[in-house]
Amino acid sequence: MRILLVEDEARIAAFVRKGLQEERYVVDVAEDCDAALDFVAAAEYDLIILDVMLPRRDGFSVCQELRRRGRKTPVLMLTARDAVDDRVRGLDAGADDYLVKPFAFKELLARLRALTRRAPETQSLQLELGDLSLDTVTHAATRAGQAIDLSAREYRLLEYLLRHRGQPLTRTQIAEAVWGYDFDAQSNVVDVYIRYLRRKVDDPFESKLIQTVRGVGYKIEARDA
Ligand code: CA
């Protein structure tokens, strides 16, 4: 899952980013409205966390602008004041939910999961393909009842593939979704991690799920499905 965090306070942004990364989210940080709109124009996000108090233009106007551009990405607004007016303004601007600062990180995670469930293509917390199953809350993976131990990166890669099952995905799409903007486009990191993942998810089993799509990249699909 890829999240855009729009927050100008570096300390808070760093804290939230780190916490979300530990929960296997891919996080990009935008420091103001213009940066946020640029990020959204350039990439697909599953969720946006939007601080209300931003320099120049506030979070409400970013949200309105996103909706005006037809973006339906779920938006969680962070408001510093527990003012009814702010919450109403946020929801009216097209936000899906809000959280009052300071918040418990656990609550932020729960709200993000709830928002994810609302998006039609990501409803399930449990991703399954054939005998492979991935729990997006506990991050536990099993195949044919056997536990598979995945690193954080491998987990994100497998989650991304499963959420786009059957779709051929390019290396660039995969890299952006799994590494965010931190990756070097020249590197073969996607191929390397696909190999790691195959070793764990496919090699011990007869039917292979991760498939190479010639001239494109990779996809995950149950062949006999
Ligand atoms: Ca702020």
Over the stretch 146-167, which tens digit does the pLDDT of each residue have? 999 999 999 999 999 998 999 9
* Mean local confidence (pLDDT), 97-120: 87
Taking a 5 Å cut-off on Cβ, the residues next to ion ligand 1 are: 8-9, 51, 53
The top-scoring range by mean pLDDT among 52-66, 110-124, 176-190, 191-205 is: 191-205
Asked if 2-117 and 126-220 have one fold, the answer is no
Three-class secondary structure of residue 48 per DSSP: strand
- Between strands 97-100 and 75-79, the pairing is parallel
Q: What is the pTM of this model?
A: 0.70
* Per-domain residue ranges of the chain: 2-117, 126-220
pLDDT for 183: 66
Ligand 1 centroid, distance to 39 Cα (angstroms): 18
Tell which CATH architecture fits domain 126-220.
Orthogonal Bundle (1.10)
Ligand 1 centroid, distance to 201 Cα (angstroms): 42
Ligand 1 centroid, distance to 9 Cα (angstroms): 5
Identify the CA nearest to 73 among candidates 35, 28, 108, 120: 120
> Distance from CA of residue 196 to its chain's centroid?
21
Distance CA 184, CA 164 (A): 23
pLDDT for 196: 97
* Mean local confidence (pLDDT), 121-136: 82
Q: Percent of the chain at pLDDT above 70?
A: 94
Average pLDDT of the chain to the nearest whole number: 89
Distance CA 162, CA 164 (A): 5
Ligand 1 centroid, distance to 220 Cα (angstroms): 40
In words, the CATH class of domain 2-117 is alpha beta
Beta bridge partners of 4: 28, 48
pLDDT for 225: 47
Ligand 1 centroid, distance to 32 Cα (angstroms): 9
